[in-house]
Every structure is written in C-alpha cells, then in structure tokens.
Amino acid sequence: MKERRKRNSVVSWNTLFWCTLLVVISSIFFTTLFFSPFDAALSPLPFTSETPPTISQPTITIRETVMLPDQALIFLNYPPSFRFHAKYDLLCLYFSADSTRRRLTQLPIQLHFARLREQIVRCTLPPRGNSVSLFVKSDGVLPAAKDSSTHPWTPLVYEALFDRDNTTIVFVKGLNLRPERFIEPSTLNCIFGWDFSKPKFFLKSDVISGAQEIIRCRTPKSIIIGQEQAQSIKVTIQERDREIFPSIARPGLCPQLSSSMQKAHEICICTMLRNQARFLREWVMYHAKIGVQRWFIYDNNSDDDIENVISFLQSVGYNISQHLWPWVKTQEAGFAHCALRARASCKWVAFIDVDEFFHIRVNGDLSRMILHHAKPGHNVGEIRTLCFSFGPSGRREVPREGVAVGYTCRLSASERHKSIVRPEALNQTLINVVHHFHLSAPFVSVDAEKSKIVINHYKYQVWKVFKEKFYRRVATYVADWQEKENVRSKDRAPGLGTKPVEPPNWANRFCEVRDYGLRNWVLRNFLDRRTHLLPWQPEYENHIRRRPRPKDKTQPFF
C-alpha cells in the first residue's frame, strides 16, 4: 500500500521531458508572435494595409520676405540642430509663374544673423514679373513656412520692443504722420498674436501714445507673465474700422539696468550709416580719445565690408557693436530704438553721423564738457551742439590722412545742431527729428557754448565721396537728392540741383573760413613721430602688428 502511494507521487522522467519540451515550444511561439514584425498579409486578423505616416524632419524654412524699394529681405528660420549658412552656400533664386521661362540665380548681397535661430538674407530685387526665393547649393530650393508671406515695404509693422514699464514699442511704416506730429491714441489698437486672420487667437490692447512712426501700447498681462517665452509672438496695429497692418515684428526685450543702478558707460554714441566703412576707424578712434566709451552702429544695408572694420576695432579694445537696421528712410525710428537699447548701460548718448566730429575748443574731454553744461540739480536732459559744415578744401582726392586733417575750410555760419541726451529724459513718444529729441518734464535742453565745444561736420567732401549721397537719404522726412522737393532745404548742397553731376569748381566751394583747430589737435595727439602715420591710415596696420599688445586689454592702445 505504501509502495503504491510512493509510486503515484513521483513524476516520471519521461513525463517531465515532454512537459518541458512543450513549455519551450510554446515560449518560442508566443515570443515570435508578440515581438517579431507582423505581416498583415498573412494575418487572419482584419488589418488595413496603410502606409504609416512619415515623421517630417526639421528643415530651414523661409519665414517671411519683405520687398524694400531697392532690395529684398528674406528671413530664414533655423531648427536648433542646424548650422547657419554662409554667404556662398546660398543663391538668390528668381522665377516666374511661367514654368517654361529659365530661372535666374545670383549671390546674395549680404547675410546677417538675427535673434533666436534667424538669419536675414539680402537679395537684389527680382526682375519685373518674377518672385524671389533661396537656393541652397547642397540641398536645393528652400521651402517656405506654412504661414510665410511676402510683404511690400509699406504698410508694414517692422520692429518692436518690450519696454520695462510693461509697454510695447511698435515701429510702423505707412501711418504717414508728419514730423513732430502726434496721433490720437484712441484711433488705434495694438494686436498680439500668431495669426492675425483669426480673431479668436489674438489679444488687443490700448495705445498709450503715437508719433511719427512709433506707437507705444500696453502689453497684455498674459504676455508680461511669459515675456521670455513670448518673443515668438507678433505684434501689429489696427486703425479703427480698418484692416490690420501686416507685420513681421516679434518684440525683443529692452536691456535692463543692473541692480547696482550704476551705468557701465558715461558717454555712448548712436549712429546710422550706409557704406561708410572707410571712415569708421578714424571716427571711432578720435571719439574714444575724447571720452566716448561705447558705440552703437545701426547699419542701413551696407555692402562695403563694414563687418571686417568693426571686427578689427573690437579686436583692439573698442566697445562697438553692429546692429542691422535695413529699413529704408527710418533714421528717426532707428535713433529711438537705439536710445532704448542704450538706456540700461549709458548715462549720456550722442546722436551724430560718421562725418561729424565733436571739436572741444578748450582743455578737457567730452565728459568735462557735459558736466559743465549739465550741472547737478539743473535737470538737463539734452545738450545741443552747433554744427559747422566743412567743404572739399581744395581737395580732389580723398585725403589719406583722414577727414579731420584733410579738410580745413568751412562755411562761416553754423548749420543745425546735434544732441547729447540722457535716455531717461526722453518723452514717452520717443519723438525726435534726428537733431534732437522731445523731453519729458521736468527735463530741459541747453545749448552748448560754441567757444567750448562745436561739431565739425565734414559734409561737403571731395566729389567722389559726396556724390554717393545721391543714392538715397536715411532720414524719414528729408527728401532724396534726386527728388525735386524742398530744393532750398539746408539738407541740400546750395545750387547743386538734383543730378549727381559734379558742379564747376566743386573742390573750392563752401570755403569761407580756414579752421585748423581740430586738425592741429589730431596731429598733436595721434601722429606717430617715427612713421609720421595716423592710426587709421591703411599703412599703419602693418606697423601696429609689430607693436606689443598692451597689458590692459580692455583699453584701446591708440
């Protein structure tokens, strides 16, 4: 009995073998079933034979195109992993709707880096009846983004900034406001969003002030809270009961003052230029010598290798930055934009051109002149300095020694003035007429004593330089030379007319007073006694390469 029970409680080896084999085969079958690729054609289950959706790879796209009067701006958007293209990687591509016509290509005029992952490509305008795109030599034609548009220059909202008082500054072309004229804020709205064709997806806000091309509006609270992330949002304006202005403006952030409340620079300069690279070294080096510490260069579509000149100046210690400002005839708006950028780091900002030089006629530098005219407690927000216009001074070729030494004969009477301002003193409209700004209370402007400081304006240089001004003017409310408008304006050369043809005896015009004051000061303070060269002369660069670099790299050594 006991023996029978023992036999029944033990599993035979034969049974164990077949059970184990069955488990292994079952495991292989179920592993194959669930973890191997499934062939829908062989499956008894009702699978549909569909092609799975492909995941689109990130690519560079054309975000927007703006057709300026003399060139096309193409805005590129780059995915985070992509490197930026160089000028010779791209071609401007011109084509028409007629597919039988041959496509044309041309190298871009220039490329510029913008904020975020953006790049601006400048192309020549397409021939009549053609459109413009971009061709990447390694990849083919660049695609346009889904919401990409081509905009005419006017009307257009072209720039915007978030200001520190929870307002947004909007720069707009096409309001056609006259100089120094204000607009009634209630006639406009600001609109924030991504798609202005869908009212459900944008926010409206009130306009606080408007003048010339500058609109200030309240920033919606939801955007203030997420301002760092909101920089991809667009802003535009709408006149009451009219269409919304097209916009490419994504607001940037104004630099904020550090917690120390101590500004980094006592004196800065803002300027706007086009193709003035050959004069930039002298202008920067000279003003550094009299106390300027920071330069903001607003480049209005130069194509004369200005980037290399600025890089050189930066490499030897000058605090200078280039900011692309491609917008045609918007100097006043550009200066307002620069004032906002400079406000956080500059106590005083001068607004002058590259052919204008502060001439201090007494001992001391520019800082001393400012202190003399803006004594503490007097609420001085702007110092206006008279300009004296110099002529060709008998020259027929560009003086190699520079303008301050080369041109020494001028008109006897002053023409206009230029200003040094405290950015905090500016009126909230930021209204200006290039030469001066409107101030907010209680700030006042004062005139500089001409016995102490003036501006030498090298306005009428040798003909080959002066005739370049006929291309176009940068100021909004100043007529181009070719236009028969305001022909008696002081912005024009007397008796010159509207054609870039050299008048008789140009070299000896505008010469009423011999003025050697600045020339002599420059020779005393800059001339190298061994080489008899000035530091901005082309020959001087080879000389300085042999000189030891100064120990204090933060200061220029000229």
pLDDT in the model for residue 513: 97
Task: Please provide residue 541's backbone torsions phi and psi, each rounded to the nearest 5 degrees.
Answer: -65, -40
Q: What are phi and psi of 162, to 5 degrees?
A: -80, 120
CA distances from 309 to 284, 538, 541 (A): 11, 12, 12
User: Does residue 247 sit in the same domain as residue 302?
Assistant: no
Q: Is residue 119 part of a domain?
A: yes
Q: Are residues 176 and 296 in the same domain?
A: no
Q: Are residues 133 and 235 in the same domain?
A: no
Element (H, E) at 284: helix 277-289
Helices 517-526, 277-289: inter-axial angle, 10-degree rounding: 80
Contact 243, 157 (CB under 8 A): no
Would you say 122 and 301 are in contact if contact means Cβ atoms under 8 Å apart?
A: yes
Q: Which of 151, 169, 194 is the last residue of a domain?
A: 151
DSSP letter for 7, please: H
State the Cα–Cα distance between residues 509 and 393, nearest whole angstrom: 8
User: Could you tell me if residue 235 is inside a domain?
Assistant: yes
What interhelical angle do 277-289 and 306-315 show, nearest 10?
A: 30
Q: What is the CATH number of the domain that holds 66?
A: 2.60.40
> Do residue 141 and residue 164 come from a single domain?
no
Residue 482 resides in a domain: yes
pLDDT at 352: 96
In a domain, 36, yes or no: no
Q: Are residues 316 and 382 in the same domain?
A: yes
**Domain check: are 385 and 466 in the same one?**
yes
Is there a domain that residue 46 lies in? no
Cα separation of 308 and 110, whole Å?
Answer: 13
What is the distance between the alpha carbons of residues 419 and 416, in angstroms, rounded to a whole number? 10
Structural domain including 412 reads 265-515
pLDDT (0 to 100) of residue 554: 38
CA-based nearest residue to 316, from 37, 11, 50, 553: 553
| 411 in the same domain as 374 | yes
Residues 538 and 406 in one domain: no
Looking at the fold, whether 75 and 222 belong to one and the same domain comes out as no
Q: For residue 361, tell me if it sits in a domain.
A: yes
As for how many domains the chain has, the answer is: 4
The domain boundary residue, chosen from 135, 151, 167: 151
Is 552 domain-assigned? no
pLDDT in tens, the chain (558 residues): 444 444 444 444 444 445 544 444 444 433 333 333 323 232 232 222 333 344 446 789 999 999 999 999 999 999 988 889 999 999 999 998 877 778 899 999 999 988 778 999 999 999 988 999 999 998 889 998 888 899 999 999 999 999 989 999 999 999 877 777 888 999 999 999 988 877 777 899 999 999 989 999 999 988 887 766 666 789 999 998 788 999 999 998 888 776 667 899 999 999 999 999 999 999 999 999 999 999 999 999 998 989 999 999 999 999 999 999 999 989 999 999 999 999 999 999 999 999 999 999 999 999 999 999 999 889 999 999 999 999 999 999 999 999 999 999 999 999 889 999 999 999 999 998 888 899 999 999 999 999 999 999 999 999 999 988 877 766 666 666 666 666 666 666 766 767 788 888 999 999 999 999 999 999 999 999 999 999 999 888 776 555 444 444 333 333
The answer to whether residues 395 and 286 belong to one domain is yes
Residue 30 maps to a domain: no
Asked if 417 and 386 touch (Cβ cutoff 8 Å), the reply is yes
Same domain, 98 and 245: no
Q: Whole-angstrom Cα distance, residue 361 to residue 419?
A: 17
* Residue carrying the six token digits 């001393």: 368
Structural domain ending residue among the three candidates 230, 253, 276: 253
Count Cβ atoms below 10 Å from residue 426 Cβ, excluding itself: 23
Return the H-helix or E-strand segment holding 339: helix 331-342
Q: CA–CA separation, 445 vs 356, rounded Å?
A: 21
| Whether residue 163 sits in one domain with residue 145 | no
